[in-house]
Structure 1
Amino acid sequence: MAELKPINWAYPFPSKDTSNNPLQLLTHMAQAKGGFYPTGDNGLWHGGVHFDEGTAAAFDQSSVRCIADGEVIAYRIDKRYPVSEFTDEIPRVKRAPFSTGFVLVKHRLQPPPLRNADGSIAESPPPPSLTLYSLYMHLLDWAGYQAQPNLPHPAFWGTSRCTVNTQNQGLSVRASPNKNAAKLSELSRGAEIVVGETQGEFSKLVSLISGTAQPALASDDKGQLSGYVFTSLLKRYSEPAEYDRVVVLDNGLPIKAGDLIGHPGLYQNHDSAAQHMVHVELFSCDDVPGFIAQSRAWASRLPDDQKTLLKIYKGASKLIAHREGISAGNPPKLSDAGTQIGVDLIIPQALLDGLPASHKIQVTIPAEGSTPASTSSWWRLDGLFADDNGNPIDGWLAEQELITTRHSPWEWEGFQCIEETGTPVEKLAYAFNARGLLSTDEQHNYRAQINRADGGPIVTLARLYDIVDTDKDGVLTSAEIRTALAKPWHAQVLGQLITKYESEWFWNKDKWDEVDPLLAEEPSKPNSNWEVEKQRIEKLSWWKELAGQHCISGEGSAWHIHAPMLAVSFTRAEKNTCSKCNKSISITYELMKKICPSSITDDFIKSFILHTNRLFKKYEITSCDQVTHLLAQAKHETKRFTAFRESLYYSSYTAQDLYNMAPTAINNGLIRKSLTFATHAEKLKYIEDNLLKNDAGYGQHCFGSKEYPENDYRGRGLLHLTHYSNYQSCALAIGKPIAAEPTLVESDVAVIVETGLWFWKSNRLKAYAEDASLTEEDAVEKITRTINGGTKGLTERKQFKREITKAFIELYGNCST
């Protein structure tokens, strides 16, 4: 039986929250300016969530990432944003851009197979499966990409076509991705080629479309041309197949969780300013209630290690407030005074595993008589719970048999399926009435619609969970939904709601025309802005162009699921373990406090830990040896984690050196050869302003480029990424515009870390760190030569490696097989 691989999950935007708390990520959605789930700020149905200016403080929204493994089946990109012309009260025409660009990805959700005692897959019917679709709406237009040439492009556009962009000569083809490798051929200037994966500063050559290769190149066993070419000397031609229309792919293109989807586009409503925004939505056209019933039955046969969710029940557990002295040696006790928890909440194991070591205690209870020894767990949980009166409470929680329960995500614990029936006019009338915008006559005329909306399943559910009526008026408003979303227990309830409703991307003229009288400025006088809005809704729609393809339903209805909530439920804690000792590979707060100077702030350490541990597996940091070597090199390169920008001050430069490096015009302007400087700062400024840009061995590579002549590409980041070509290659790999904005590599901790890990992997430094035939000192030297181009600082690098290894062993023990 073929192995069934579960899909991986990711968030569409990385969190800026260094706690990496998945339930807090749900509460950040309350900061969106209007796009909530399952109803928007205007009271209308809303099947997705918005990431906009309101959420920008909580998430890195520079690029949009795919939320799960799947395949791209359709997309649309505006050549230039369409514009709606609204009329305001002056009157004055207001031109409002709105992105219709989107990407649609198809996924297959399926529980893991059952296994025999020996670990082999059991012979049984396959697990139930569900087809899901993730939608990323309002993406950047093509004009936006043209205005930012270094902005990474989605891979499914086909980013492989390039031309050789050399000045006068051709482009060498090397036998391996190394500038010292044997030269196989030379491509003519302007030759059009197709390239494959990027390795360091080089790209794999795939085929030659036009131009010449002298001598001719042979193909490898995959039918690709042999050799590698220098990436920075290529000009990429990457653009969608078509513009301004839906492109449906007959055969979906594979995409992985975390891969680039695109970038936020502009969207402006008639009554607000333009903002960058993305609508993220998850839905299924399958029988979701039927799948959930099958999934629950299947989950009952799965082993206990699949139970990665801990459920806390209202009125059953208590939180014990933290006090000075609580530790593994002095844990809390169930008999301690505490506050009873007044809400239900399901906590992912990923959240518990991600807590700092000081917030996790395991207590071993010795055996007594026939009762075997056991271990109980305590966690210090802040910002998650409330008491019976809704007041937030923090403290220590114990996992208790029968009091707390464990569940598999495949049980869909807490999820509820409802079929919403309200029409737009009913929902809008209800929302207007809740905000006091209806006249007495309108209240009378729309009483039936208001009552139907008031009795609808979403409002009924909200009342059941005490989400509504904060002002005791019996009415659900968008403001009350926003308030509820800021509380983890309410955000989870709304996030677990699975709603069947007609998609907002399915154009249905009749249902929107029903709203005309409600929005009319006066009887028989249409609202001109509403007419423009309806034209916009039609232009945004895409559903009918996919209906009947890729299993998309024809009638436009679907089961809508809260995308971030599903990612929270199904994302397991990544256990990146050492290939030698099988211990968890991660950097901890305790380790960083041991190896960092006391001046390094806790905020930096926490952010550094978050991003290294998040990215280690991606960049194949899979051994204790790699971690200690990496940290030793980084500690030297960054002056003990204090300087993520190379100073360019070299004390070895004498006055004569400076004179010899200076351009002729400066030389001629000097009265004498000996240069003196009152301070080091003056000497540094002179070096930067006049000399290094003309130093063939250094400055010509580090200062400027044809695209960005004013930029400075000195060493920055964890391993001091240097030279424009490296910035450019790294930008394409990590999806950050660091070639255009190199200072990101010194100011953004996520970028500082990822550029260093990219360099480590791209230059195969793992091989030296894990080479058992090398002594530790020899491995340090080989890694140093790759990073530094020589052996500068070798003595200190070796010292740091010894010190960090010692600290590592003190905290975690020896790494051995």
Structure 2
Amino acid sequence: MNTPRAPKPSATSRVGYPFKDKDGRVISDPRAFIEALIPVQGGHYLLGAHGFFHGGIHLDRACKAYLSMEDGICCLADGEVIAYRIDSDYHDATPGGVGQGVAWRPYSTGFVLVRHRLQAPPPPTPPKPPPIEAPGTDIRDWGTHLYADRQGRQPIAWLRHGTPLIVQVGTYTPGESTLVRVTDTRDATLPREGWICRRHLALDPAAGTGLRAVLGLKDTVVTTVYHGDYVDPDKSAAYTENKAQRQRPEPLAAPVLTLYSLYMHVASRGDYGRNARWQRPSWWLQRDGSREPEAMDRVVAVSPPVPIHQGDLIGYLGEDVPARAYPIAGQPVTRRLLHLEIFSGDDLPAYLSASRRWAKENLPESERTLLLLMAGDVLQQDDGGTLTVNQRQILRAGGLESRTTDGKRWRKVMLGAAQGHATGWIEEAGRLVSPWEWPGFEIHDEVTSPDGFRHDAPDAFAEYLRGEGPRPPDTPFYQALRALVDRNRDGVFSEEELDRLLRNRHHADRITRIIARHETAWTRASMRGYAETARRIAVKLGPVAVDNVDAEAPRAEMLPWWEDVAAGVEGFPASSRVWHLHPGGVAGNFSGGSFLFTVTMLQKVFPRAHGNRLQEIASELNSNIDRFELDTALRRTHFFAQVAQEAGENLAFEEGLNYSASSLSQFAYFKRLPHEATLYGRTSAHGADQRAIADRIYANRIGNGDVASGDGWRFRGRGLKQLTGRANYRAFTAWHRRVFPSELVDFEQQPDLLATACYATRSAAYFWEGNGLHLKADDGPTSAVVDSITRVVNRYTDSYVARAKHFEDMWSKGLFK
């Protein structure tokens, strides 16, 4: 019996970061993430501790000044969990072991492996129109020509069926032309006079166009064109265009790259018990009301894979303490660390060529969101001077100041420290590229050092460390890398050199865009090769070094997982020699897609709203642009037009019910009981009783109970779209558990949560996506579409004018493009 093939994970076009910034906001500037990596010791991309290749990056306590690491590790992109290993509790790296009890030097062998399919979204294309009726089936489609001459050689206009005419019939002689003179077409858009074939005139005795007129017994008649010998050219053209649009081939799909993100040294299951506030990852199995790993202390090939979204919780940082760490004051050592890695088994050179070609041929200018500056480009300064760019720069165009001069758009950019942080203007045309062109990414293929050591001769390197010989030459692979990163040409390629380079925005950009093919570190053969090379060096350095290497050997035997995953996961790379990519480089290229919400944008729509509230909303939306179906400018504009109408310029999270007594008559309840409108509505004698008003106008509606139940006030309008009624709160809870499965929140029990920025935003996304409004928005920027969406959002009013105005204002300004 054949096992059904597991479905591929959904393609994604966005890659994010493993943590938010220190204030809990989504990182939008790649530099903010790179700066967080600089203080980390022993875990930079390309070169780790002791001169070995390092295919990932380390994040540890040194990053806390920059990142919200206590909140857990975020999944980098939409994908599927294909394998993991969760330790029941930490192992102990203490040499010789300590038996039962506390782990003095705890370390995790746990990991989570996620598979992603990176693919550009299709270029925007108009929807295919419905078919229209072929021309000619209706008599009204027909007509004939009006000629300039009696012989019918010079057509000057087309006259549709029913066109009124004044015709001078004249005497008919057999064998002569059948054309008669038109003295007035009675249509200002047509030539006034001409000639027309008499057989296409209506023969109506009552109108004087019967047989008497044909025989010439009546000279001038009022008639109309009847049928004709040609089909309406406008309708024929429309039909031809409609047919062409319906037969239009689908746009060529973008190439797909399969990527894997590895999260190594995640927390043990026991650590969750010691940290009560930790949430359980949504990809754990649901058992008896809680989530647990399927199994522990072994590699689990997940079948079928579990879908996971960008930003979802992977787990928490686990311990990774080496055997040589020394306990202080009799306390166990702690070092929480994440090894993060992105790799691919695909043919990267072929993919890059295909993606670059596809992007150049298929993407419109609006999708080219990066500004590429090359060495030699000239900047114009405000004082009339010029500056010459001396190294490549890749900048996100949307974040740069712009101006238009003589129809040309210019962007203001800043050059690097080597040029004094000078600023100038450069013309945008010809310099915009798409992230899908992978600008600046360079391929380097390692073929000579499978153990990952930088030098071909470990013994000679040991002698160099002892001061007994020169530094041995680098392998060809490291020679090529040094040529890229050794900017001061001192011949040194070290972790310290990488630290210095990462501090420079432009050097860091180059390092993070290097793609290196190398043997993975996570096979048993790789670990043993690493250990053997390290021991050869240690033997030359002395007994203490040997002891340190030997103490690490048990841990090195525990860490590999590659062979188990390759055997259990369909489609996993057959070769352990894979392409490594810098997580920060990939995220910096794709994070935010071609769009990020900013406080500045939202302030234009909500000028009276507080900046902190706008920042919280922008952060939530930027984490979920794809998930909330806000992935096009048209959708974003429709979405916020609705929000602007519902929440107002001050972006209120709760419905205002401060009604005057007279205005309550618009509600059916108070229309029936007008004396209660005076009792509870605002008058000169007293303020409005908003609780009583809500309990009455929402009683016995939208899932609410009667007036006495208090449901009207409890489930009053909240959130960006003023979600109202118990039924909607209950439906939002179900949607939220599906979309955010790790957050088991019940909004029916905790309705006030909708008045916080996070859930106010998500409630609007629920109504948007849950009612299919994103699909309606795809129909276009028309008032009819605005009205159709508005009817869903607010079924209780017939006035759409204000909402349409919000939409038209934002669309005309291109605010969310």
TM-score interval (norm. to shorter): 0.5 to 0.7
2:94 pairs with 1:85:
yes
> Displacement of 1:246 after TM fit?
0.8
2:111 alignment counterpart: 102
2:458 pairs with 1:397:
no
Contact 2:643 2:720 in 1 (8 A): no
Q: How does 1:441-520 map to 2 (within 5 A)?
A: 442-444=465-467, 447=469, 450-453=471-474, 456-458=476-478, 460-468=480-488, 474-507=491-524, 508-516=527-535, 518-519=537-538
> Displacement of 1:313 after TM fit?
0.8
Contact 1:6 1:109 in 2 (8 A): yes
2:378 pairs with 1:317:
yes
Give CA deviations for 1:132-182 in whole Å, capped at 9, x if unaligned. Answer: 3222222233234455678554454444x5xxxxxxxxxxxxxxxxxxxxx
Contact 1:35 1:48 in 2 (8 A): yes
How far apart, CA to CA, are the structure 1 residues paired with 2:354 and 2:789? 54
- TM-score under structure 2 length normalisation: 0.59
What is the one-letter code of the residue matched to 2:249? S
1:269 alignment counterpart: 321
Q: How does 1:128-139 map to 2 (within 5 A)?
A: 130-139=257-266
1:111–1:738 CA distance, 2 compared to 1 (3 A): closer
How far apart, CA to CA, are the structure 2 residues paired with 1:735 and 1:381? 43
2:111 pairs with 1:67:
no
2:338 alignment counterpart: 278
How far apart, CA to CA, are the structure 1 residues paired with 2:290 and 2:565? 28
Match among 353, 358, 380 for residue 412 of structure 2? 380
Contact 1:42 1:478 in 2 (8 A): no
How far apart, CA to CA, are the structure 2 residues paired with 1:501 and 1:311? 29
Match among 53, 66, 69 for residue 61 of structure 2? 53
Which stretch shows the higher mean deviation, 256-265 or 112-121?
112-121
Contact 1:312 1:344 in 2 (8 A): yes
2:192 alignment counterpart: none
2:456 pairs with 1:417:
no
2:643 alignment counterpart: 630
Contact 1:105 1:133 in 2 (8 A): yes
How far apart, CA to CA, are the structure 2 residues paired with 1:79 and 1:645? 45
- TM-score under structure 1 length normalisation: 0.59
How far apart, CA to CA, are the structure 2 residues paired with 1:127 and 1:814? 30
Q: How does 1:708-719 map to 2 (within 5 A)?
A: none
Q: How does 1:322-361 map to 2 (within 5 A)?
A: 336-347=384-395, 351-352=396-397, 354-355=398-399, 359-361=401-403
Contact 1:63 1:263 in 2 (8 A): yes
SS class of match (2:509): helix
How far apart, CA to CA, are the structure 1 residues paired with 2:654 and 2:50? 47
How far apart, CA to CA, are the structure 2 residues paired with 1:308 and 1:775? 28
Match among 4, 7, 11 for residue 16 of structure 2? 11
1:332 alignment counterpart: none
Contact 1:312 1:405 in 2 (8 A): no
1:37 alignment counterpart: 45
2:558 alignment counterpart: 539
Which stretch shows the higher mean deviation, 128-137 or 308-317?
128-137
2:589 pairs with 1:589:
no
What is the one-letter code of the residue matched to 2:110? G
How far apart, CA to CA, are the structure 1 residues paired with 2:806 and 2:255? 48
Contact 1:152 1:736 in 2 (8 A): yes
> Displacement of 1:493 after TM fit?
1.4
1:406–1:641 CA distance, 2 compared to 1 (3 A): closer
How far apart, CA to CA, are the structure 2 residues paired with 1:774 and 1:408? 35
Q: How does 1:639-650 map to 2 (within 5 A)?
A: 640=650
How far apart, CA to CA, are the structure 2 residues paired with 1:137 and 1:595? 43
How far apart, CA to CA, are the structure 2 residues paired with 1:274 and 1:501? 31
How far apart, CA to CA, are the structure 2 residues paired with 1:379 and 1:127? 29
> Displacement of 1:515 after TM fit?
1.4
2:585 pairs with 1:565:
yes
How far apart, CA to CA, are the structure 1 residues paired with 2:37 and 2:564? 30
> Displacement of 1:364 after TM fit?
4.7
> Displacement of 1:243 after TM fit?
0.9
> Displacement of 1:494 after TM fit?
1.2
How far apart, CA to CA, are the structure 2 residues paired with 1:565 and 1:812? 33
Contact 1:738 1:744 in 2 (8 A): no
1:716–1:60 CA distance, 2 compared to 1 (3 A): farther
> Displacement of 1:419 after TM fit?
1.0
Contact 1:319 1:340 in 2 (8 A): no
> Displacement of 1:78 after TM fit?
1.6
> Displacement of 1:97 after TM fit?
2.3
How far apart, CA to CA, are the structure 1 residues paired with 2:336 and 2:321? 12
What is the one-letter code of the residue matched to 2:377? A
1:23–1:361 CA distance, 2 compared to 1 (3 A): farther
2:267 alignment counterpart: 140
Give CA deviations for 1:727-786 in whole Å, capped at 9, x if unaligned. Answer: 89857844676969999979996x36644445645885969x99999999999999799x
> Displacement of 1:49 after TM fit?
2.0
2:241 alignment counterpart: none
> Displacement of 1:562 after TM fit?
1.9
How far apart, CA to CA, are the structure 2 residues paired with 1:740 and 1:84? 43
1:600 alignment counterpart: 610
> Displacement of 1:378 after TM fit?
2.0
SS class of match (1:397): strand
2:576 pairs with 1:556:
yes
> Displacement of 1:5 after TM fit?
8.7
Paired residues in the alignment total 612
SS class of match (1:514): helix
What is the one-letter code of the residue matched to 2:319? Y
> Displacement of 1:431 after TM fit?
12
SS class of match (2:61): coil
1:465–1:275 CA distance, 2 compared to 1 (3 A): closer
How far apart, CA to CA, are the structure 2 residues paired with 1:540 and 1:426? 19
SS class of match (1:336): coil
SS class of match (1:258): coil
Contact 1:544 1:554 in 2 (8 A): no
> Displacement of 1:519 after TM fit?
4.0
SS class of match (1:392): coil
Contact 1:264 1:276 in 2 (8 A): no
2:249 alignment counterpart: 120
How far apart, CA to CA, are the structure 1 residues paired with 2:560 and 2:59? 20
2:310 pairs with 1:258:
yes
How far apart, CA to CA, are the structure 2 residues paired with 1:485 and 1:780? 50
1:336–1:407 CA distance, 2 compared to 1 (3 A): farther
Contact 2:83 2:300 in 1 (8 A): yes
Contact 1:307 1:407 in 2 (8 A): yes
Give CA deviations for 1:259-282 in whole Å, capped at 9, x if unaligned. Answer: 635122312334496354432212
How far apart, CA to CA, are the structure 1 residues paired with 2:588 and 2:510? 13
In the alignment, structure 1 segments of 5+ residues that lack a partner are 162-234, 322-334, 366-375, 577-585, 647-695, 703-712, 786-790
SS class of match (2:44): coil
Give CA deviations for 1:12-64 in whole Å, capped at 9, x if unaligned. Answer: 43644678234654454435454321123554321112343344454454344
Name the larger-Rg structure. 2
> Displacement of 1:530 after TM fit?
3.1
Give CA deviations for 1:666-690 in whole Å, capped at 9, x if unaligned. Answer: xxxxxxxxxxxxxxxxxxxxxxxxx
Which stretch shows the higher mean deviation, 717-726 or 93-102?
717-726
2:292 pairs with 1:239:
yes
